[in-house]
Amino acid sequence: MNNVNLDIQEGEMLGLIGETGSGKSMLARLIIDLLPANGRLTHGQILHRSTNCTDGRSVLRGRKIAMVFQDPMQSLNPVQRIGKQFVFVLQKRFGYRNERAYLEACDWLDKVQISNPDNILNRFPHQLSGGQMQRIMIAISMAVKPEFLIADEATTALDANIKLEIIELINSLRNEMNTTVLFISHDLLIARRYCDRIAVMNKGRIVEINKTIDIFSHPKHVYTKTLISGLHKLMGKSNKKEEQAEKNILMSVKNIKKAYTANKENTYALEHVSLDIYKKETMGIIGESGSGKTTLAKIILNILQRDFGSVILFNGDGSKKNITRPNSRIGAVFQDPLGSLNPRMTVSDIVAEPLIVSGWKNKLEIEEKIEKTINKVNLETDLLNRFPQMLSGGQRQRVSIARALVLQPDLLVLDEPTSSLDIHVQGIVLDLLKELQHLEKLTYLFISHDLGVLAEIADRVAVLYQGRIIEQGITEEILYNPREKYTKKLISAFFDNNI
């Protein structure tokens, strides 16, 4: 960051937007004195109510200032149950006894639309979906009743329905308690709807700040104009490939069931889930957080054991096999590229790993394959010796795509591959995926909570709700003529947000 000046008025919601790597999260961490080990404040001041708190701002953290971080999995202790962590925060902040703190935690989980809070508080973080964990972090942050709330990509993993509900919740807290909110996001539509003012950040500088209506109707800076223009693609008609998918089945998922046990009770993540995936098509899966989308992806990849049902993979000669182990014909790209890439491995090592595991031994052949695959995803070969943390979010996701492609699979399972990316980089990745699908004759299972993304890329869509597929069909039919009440609500929330 360089020469950043920002005034945040009491009671307002100030949006901070910018592409991945622009410095948004670093500014948030600077405010609450949680810079990484190699970061330091070299010049300037931070004032709280006109008082210089630069050297003592850590005292405000968890009392006057709270923050919802971008990655909830990194914020929650993986070896402690949710209830223990939530109760500890409330006891430290208010001095509550165990019973009162626990009841308060249950109340806050209700407020953020988490059903059966007693069950959830008894779980570990890894037993929850990304959206559930994110809502828990919002509940914990809001429960300390801060004067100033920093929400760093607080709605990233949430579907349209829950996204609006969470922002409405944050907004109601702001109005009820006169809480000031710094809303950091790459979701320009949400920022436009809820923020009073917007600051635009690029390469560590605030390049423009103005009232929200003026930012979107009359942007002044060239970078702001580029960001705003990216909305036109998202809000326009779908722009899917013209080539039609073959009506030959590549994979058939039949009657999948998966249950988890908590407090000696079975909770079904998936019940009687069945769908066919055709060659060269993009099959979209949409549903709210906790609906079972990621569970389904893991079962198809055979990295999670199913309780019942079959995953049948068809061969080119018409034969088929019920697969029960990971298969080289199926690749995967996950939601969090930083979390799914080994931080101790270079890009070259990451892309080479599937080859080595599959038995490749010739070093020259491996190097040639890596270079060819990296070129396919439009990355420069000089990045091969870098580590994941040295790359931007878009570059990391392209490395993830390269790793998935290196064994030349027939099917790619893409689990929220663009949800952590800003709208500009999101468009670049979607264009890359469409290009690769055409060149490599790929089939995609594309899992997302973002209807705009699915409208852009999916041929067909299946709607997953509470572990069941409630309807499926051609994308346009689902978007404009949904049958089920839940689907209508999901689509209504999306279009309301696009107004």
What pLDDT sits at residue 112?
A: 83
- Range scoring the smallest mean pLDDT among 128-137, 297-306, 308-317: 128-137
Collapse the DSSP code of 143 into the 3-class scheme (helix H, G, I; strand E, B; otherwise coil) and give the result: helix
Identify the weakest region by mean pLDDT among 198-207, 234-243, 257-266.
234-243
Report the predicted TM-score, pTM, of the whole model to 2 decimal places: 0.71
Nearest partner of 394 among 377, 370, 409, judged by Cα: 377
Q: Which residues pair with 275 in a beta bridge?
A: 253
List, for residues 409-433, the tens digit of each pLDDT value.
999 999 988 877 777 778 888 999 9
DSSP tag of 375:
H
Residue 148 has pLDDT above 90, yes or no: yes
Which two three-digit tokens encode residue 499? 């107004």
Cβ pair 182, 16 in contact under 8 A:
yes
Say if 13-235 and 249-497 have the same CATH topology: yes
Q: At a CB cut-off of 8 Å and minimum separation 6, what does 305 contact?
A: 299
Q: In terms of Cα–Cα distance, which of 479, 498, 476 is closest to 487?
A: 479
Q: What is the mean pLDDT of the chain?
A: 88
Residue bearing the bigger pLDDT, 32 or 173 = 32
CATH of region 13-235, choose from 3.40.50.2000, 3.40.50.2020, 3.50.50.60, 3.40.50.300 = 3.40.50.300
Give residue 245's pLDDT: 46
Give backbone dihedrals phi and psi of 289, rounded to 5 degrees, phi first: -60, 130
Rounded to whole angstroms, the Cα distance separating 152 from 175 reads 20
Instruction: Please state the rounded mean pLDDT for residues 196-222.
Output: 93
What is the structure's pLDDT at 242? 44
Rounded to whole angstroms, what are the CA distances from 55 to 2, 42, 69, 89, 396? Answer: 19, 12, 22, 24, 35
Higher pLDDT residue, 206 or 74?
A: 206
Least trusted range by pLDDT, from 37-41, 349-353, 361-365, 381-385: 37-41
Tokens of 183: 């809303």
Residue 239 has pLDDT above 50, yes or no: no
* Predicted local confidence at residue 496, as pLDDT: 58
Q: What is the mean pLDDT of residues 233-262?
A: 71
Looking at residue 231, what is its pLDDT? 63
DSSP 60-86: GBTTTEEEE-S-HHHHS-TTS-HHHHH
User: Which SS3 state, helix, strand or coil, does residue 211 take?
Assistant: strand
Question: Picking from 9-18, 420-429, 479-488, which range would have the lowest pLDDT averaged per residue?
Answer: 420-429
**CB-side neighbour CA atoms (13 Å) of 222:** 0
Q: How far is CA 189 from CA 15, 137, 166, 212, in A?
A: 11, 22, 15, 11
User: Within 10 Å of residue 214's Cβ, how many Cβ atoms?
Assistant: 14
What pLDDT score was predicted for residue 9?
92
The reported pLDDT for the residue numbered 159 is: 67
- Cβ(227)–Cβ(201) under 8 Å? no
**Arch. (CATH architecture) of 249-497:** 3-Layer(aba) Sandwich (3.40)
If you count them, how many residues does the chain have?
A: 499
Residues in Cβ contact with 464 at an 8 Å cutoff, skipping those fewer than 6 apart: 273, 285, 286, 287, 291, 292, 293, 296, 470
So what's the pLDDT on residue 303?
A: 94
Q: Do the Cβ atoms of 146 and 66 come closer than 8 Å? A: yes
Share of the chain above pLDDT 70, in %: 94
Which element (helix H / strand E) includes 273?
strand 265-278
Q: Where are the alpha helices (DSSP H) in 71-187?
A: 72-75, 82-94, 98-111, 117-121, 130-143, 160-177
For the chain, the structural domain boundaries read 13-235, 249-497
